[in-house]
Chains A and B, each alone.
Chain A
Amino acid sequence: MTDRTMKERKTREWLDSRATSRRRFVAGALGTGAAVAAPAVLTGARAAGEFKMATFLALSGPASLFGPTQTACAKLAIDQINAGGGIGGRKVTVIPADGGATPAEAAKAAIRLMLRDKVDLVLGSHNSAVREAIVAALKGRVPYVYTPLYEGGECNPNVYVTADTPQQQVQPSISWLAKTLGAKSYYLIGNDYVWPHKTNEQAKKYIAAAGGKVVGEEYLPLGAPNKFEDAVTRIKAKKPDLVVITLVGGDNVNFNRTFAGFGLDKSIKRVSYLLEELTLFGIGAENSAGLYSAMSYFVNEKSEPNAKFKAGFAKAFAPKPPPLSMLGADVYSGVYCAKALVEKAGGTKDAGKLMAAADNLQYRTATGSGVMTNRHVVKDMYLAECKGTSFDIVQTFKAVAHGQTCS
């Protein structure tokens, strides 16, 4: 037995013993006659009474910029579901946890939520390091829905990914841009961690397929106070047709401002794979010419379901709703995915049944519906061009494959 599993077991035993002693106390308070039967009755009643959902959202850390929209979207979906009778007739309650915590802290929180709070399901929007820690902590004993765009490859049992994958983001958008813009040469720039590398792996595949070539590729440290004068000068020297950007947050803002500041926006197009409304706002209207983004959600998407979703959001959080974006809409869809999954499987106890139910599971999303295969989602993707600080969808790609085989 490794140190870590020892530690986990000890933690669990400790938590269990606390839970047991609390039950004993409750039983004692109820009177000696009921003492033996009470624990079972109590837990049974509670389990049937409410559906406990733990949410790991960005309450702290660099992504906490998205915390308010995530929390609001989760609340909106759950309020709607509860108004319609809950999940499988059970009222949904939320136990919030911090997805911005370190992986070790998140794992501890997951264990506590599973063993002490006995949550029925975990939903998370956070980075992959935290996801791996939570997966390791839960070990498939509780269903886990993961919602933000990521690098792909999550195939652990009882884990359900509603996120955009690189295949979905990159394949249709690169092919379209190559054809429409006639882009032949490409420059790849991203932060140095798994998602940009995996995304660029896909990008290079489709660039080659479209007959283009990569003239430069560079990665900058994540979380460092990066400046981009040197990178922009290199790009200026290489004169690519399209820059593929997998920088995140402040780096994405900074790069695009520097890029336009050096006047490169006049001759070179850009596509960014993590560019939503809040980041675009930071980039600013005068720096966003010739900049594209490809994701499964934009606030400006014109469908009927999105109009309804936005109206519901605006009404629920009036008079001052938090700024809506992809990372919130994801969570909204994830909650509906959880509902569809649990109802189709007839409960959350049996991982086998849940995983079987996930196959071809259809559920409601902010912009319509998604279909789950291999515990990932086949979905519509959008390519948007920036117009000032808003997105103009120039192309919709229907039912894009996620490319995850999980074999």
Chain B
Amino acid sequence: MDPILTTNILNVVYEVSTLAVVVLGLAVVFGLLGVMNLAHGEFVMIGAYCAFFVQAQNLPFLAAVPLALLVCAVLGLVVERLLVRPLYARPFDTLLATWGLSMLLREAVEAVYGRGFRSVATPLTGSVDVFGADYPSYRLLLTVVSIALVAGLVWWFVRSATGRRIRAVVNNPELAGSVGIPVTGLARNTFVFGCCLAALAGVMLAPLLPVNPTLGLDFILKSFFVLVVGGLGSLVGLISGSGVIGGVESVVSAFLDRTYGYTTVLIIAILFLWLRPNGLFPRT
């Protein structure tokens, strides 16, 4: 196969799978709590700074994973209790509150690290020969880890007792309480889980990004489009949304250029909002 075509295909898979990981946390939280966490990107950003911090301390890169999970879990707990829980069932207020939170987190990180770009060294350098195409090892690893993470989560969601209960709460919160599911606790855990997923995505992507306080803003809009296309509240929707948005953008970008990529994605998002506002896989 033509190595350039192979590279392009790997680029598309890379973009779709990493996008799915970023949106995963957002979608799980929205599905269960009906809360659109506009500070989701900032949790990604904090994850990236954890990777930077760990490298600056000369610790192994993987040490960033527990650190980022811990920082974002604690932060997620506090945010859920003080900001999200009092505003359940008030979607617009939650949007405003989490948007405010995103600004606060950006400013806080800026106060510590400044506005400048931070460089996180790639933990895995070199490239791997994939059907004749040289592909960067770290990107390849990231693609594999992302696919495994999404697949593992889908499996867990479908097969585990907790996954069943989460699906039950999404479908019928009132009945869920009546059969003894601790809805409030489950909601809290889910929010924290979503924050941790964002943090994990941040650590993974840090070596490939210009790490700076506004990093999270780059993710939130595209995540939004994924949810618009995929529909809110199902993992199938999330994956198909990531596939459509990430896939279309990178395919069009590969064969035309980025401007056409963005335009196509915007047109798709507008068409969906207009003609199919509940997305491909609407919430039942």
A–B touching in complex (CB under 8 Å): yes
Interface residues of A (CB under 8 A from B): 64-65, 192, 218-221, 224-227, 229-231, 233-234, 236-237, 249-250, 253-254, 257-258, 261-263, 278-279, 281-287, 323, 389
State which of A65, A230, A233, A261 has its C-beta within 8 Å of the C-beta of B258: A230
B7 at the interface (CB under 8 A from A): yes
CB-CB under 8 A from A286, the residues of chain B are 121-122, 125
Which of B7, B14, B117, B138 touches A281 (beta carbons < 8 Å)?
B117
Q: Does the CB pair A233–B117 fall under 8 Å?
A: no
Tell me if B99 is interfacial: C-beta within 8 Å of chain A.
Answer: no
Q: Which of A218, A226, A237, A282 contacts B118 (CB 8 A)?
A: A282
List the count of A-B residue pairs having beta carbons below 8 Å apart: 105
Report B-chain residues with C-beta under 8 Å of the C-beta of A250: 117, 210, 212, 214
18 new A-B contacts at CB < 8 Å, known A282-B212, A283-B117, A284-B120 = A65-B116, A65-B212, A218-B257, A221-B262, A230-B258, A231-B257, A233-B7, A257-B119, A261-B136, A262-B127, A262-B136, A281-B119, A282-B119, A283-B119, A284-B121, A286-B121, A323-B116, A389-B119
The contact of B210 among A254, A262, A285, A389, by CB within 8 Å, is A254
B264 is an interface residue with CB less than 8 A from chain A: no
Question: How many angstroms between the C-alpha atoms of A323 and B122 in the bound complex?
Answer: 25
Task: Digitize B210-241: 1 where CB-to-A-CB distance is under 8 Å, 0 elsewhere.
Answer: 11101001110110000000000000000000
Pick the contact of A230 from B122, B136, B214, B254 — CB < 8 Å? B254
A279 to B115, CA, bound (A): 11
Contacts of A282 in B (CB 8 A): 116-119, 210-212
- Known contacts: A224-B262, A225-B219. The answer to whether A64 contacts B115 by CB under 8 A is yes
CB under 8 Å from chain A, chain B span 48-78: none
With A64-B115, A253-B117, A254-B209 as given contacts, are A227 and B15 in contact (CB-CB < 8 Å)? yes
> What are 26 contact pairs spanning A and B, CB under 8 A?
A65-B212, A192-B259, A221-B262, A225-B217, A226-B258, A227-B253, A227-B258, A229-B14, A229-B15, A230-B250, A230-B258, A231-B257, A233-B8, A236-B4, A250-B210, A250-B212, A254-B209, A257-B209, A261-B138, A261-B208, A262-B135, A262-B136, A281-B118, A282-B117, A283-B117, A323-B116
If A221-B259, A230-B258 touch, whether A257 touches B219 (CB-CB below 8 Å) is no
Report Cα–Cα, A338/B273, bound state, in Å: 55
CB-CB under 8 A from A263, the residues of chain B are 126-127, 134, 136
Q: List, in ascending order, chain B residues with CB within 8 A of A258's CB.
A: 208
Which residue in chain B gives the minimum CB-CB distance to A251? B210
In the complex the two chains form, is B139's CB within 8 Å of A261's CB? yes
Which of chain A's residues has its CB closest to B250's CB?
A230
Q: In the bound complex, what is the Cα–Cα distance between A254 and B215 (angstroms)? A: 11
**Interface flag for B11 (CB, 8 Å):** yes
**Interface residues, chain B, with chain A CB atoms under 8 Å away:** 4, 7-8, 11, 14-15, 115-122, 125-127, 134-136, 138-139, 208-212, 214, 217-219, 221-222, 250, 253-254, 257-259, 261-262
Residues of B within 8 A of A225 (CB): 217-219, 221-222
Q: Are B116 and A230 in contact (CB under 8 A)?
A: no
Least distance between A390 CB and chain B CB atoms (Å): 13
Residues in A with CB closer than 8 Å to B250 are 227, 229-230
A278 to B22, CA, bound (A): 28
A259 CB, nearest partner CB in chain B, Å: 11
A289 to chain B, nearest CB (A): 12
A253 touching B136 by the CB < 8 A rule?
A: no
Judging by beta carbons under 8 Å apart, are A220 and B134 in contact? no
* Closest chain B CB from A145 CB (angstroms): 25
Q: Take A253-B210, A282-B212 as given contacts and tell me if A236 and B125 are in contact as well, using a CB distance cutoff of 8 Å.
A: no
Nearest-neighbor residue (CB-CB) of A288 within chain B: B119
**What is the minimal beta-carbon distance from A207 to any residue of chain B, in angstroms?**
21
* A contact residues around B4 at 8 Å (CB): 233, 236-237
Q: How far is the CA of A221 from the CA of B118 in the complex (A)?
A: 23
Q: Name the residue on A nearest B246 (C-beta).
A: A227
What B residues does A257 contact at CB under 8 A? 119, 208-210
